[in-house]
Structure 1
Amino acid sequence: MVDLSEYLPILLFLGVALVLSSAFVFLPMIAARFTGAHQPTPEKLTEYECGFPAFEDSRSQFDVRFYLVAILFIIFDLEAAFLYPWAVTVFDLGWAAWISMMIFIGELALGLAYAWKVGALDWE
């Protein structure tokens, strides 16, 4: 039978996290109402993107190149995330780990060559 008292620290942690996160969200709003900082004006209610008013519909579609660059960044960022721990322990892991990492880097190099060939890295 499971002793439910073992879950008490987890429940306390979740309760404290819920109270703190709620306080960080709602207390600034309440303080703004009481201090007079909440005085909406047309300037405060406009969208702020980069310092000037929007000139197009905010629901317009993005160019697919933004997504391609983001996907390529994630792929090579993951490569770095896998490469650093491997580099630290490569001498303890043996030849199997070295060969598997070379296969992994080779696959990523093929992906980079393909992206380069089809022009995914060219920006017009």
Structure 2
Amino acid sequence: MNPEFKTIFFSTLLGVSIILLLVFISFTLGNSRIGLTKPDSEKSSIYECGFDPFGKIRTPFTIKFVLVGILFMIFDIEISFLFPWSIVFNQLNLFSFWIVYTFLIVLTIGLAYEWIKGGLEWD
């Protein structure tokens, strides 16, 4: 067997064995085995924000939270694409410039669409 494959094999074997060990420990020492899953006064008390809990935990929330989160994620990904491009900007050819320029135009159109549809308004 090739030495590189041995390294990959034993690394994978070690990773899988650690995962299985942690899953086994979780099942044997988990809260459901000890009986701590029942809600108590500590779980219903005031949390970090300082407000008393009100309503049920699983109440539906508006989709605006998810949409705003997706918008932030899209623009964070845009920055992660533009940062390496800006580092090697002087070494790129004209085709690479126009590809990134097209990418920015598509993102700007998407931002304008969200703005027109009211996705950035917070009610």
- TM-score, normalised with respect to structure 1: 0.69
Q: Which runs of 4+ in 1 moved over 4 A?
A: 3-6, 19-25, 38-41
Structure 2 residue ranges without an equivalent (≥5): none
* Cα distance between partner residues in 1 of 2:9 and 2:46: 40
Hey, what does 1:13 align to over in structure 2? 11
Hey, what does 1:54 align to over in structure 2? 53
Q: Give 1:43-122 correspondences, 5 Å limit.
A: 43-44=41-42, 46=43, 50-51=47-48, 52=51, 54-122=53-121
* Cα distance between partner residues in 1 of 2:114 and 2:45: 35
Structure 1 residue ranges without an equivalent (≥5): 31-37
What's the CA shift string for 1:25-60, capped at 9, x where partnerless?
A: 739x86xxxxxxx8958245x267844553222222
* Cα distance between partner residues in 2 of 1:70 and 1:106: 21
* Cα distance between partner residues in 2 of 1:49 and 1:110: 44
RMSD across aligned C-alpha pairs, in angstroms? Answer: 3.3
* Cα distance between partner residues in 1 of 2:45 and 2:95: 53
Residue identity opposite 1:14 in structure 2: T
Report the structure, 1 or 2, having the larger helix content. 1
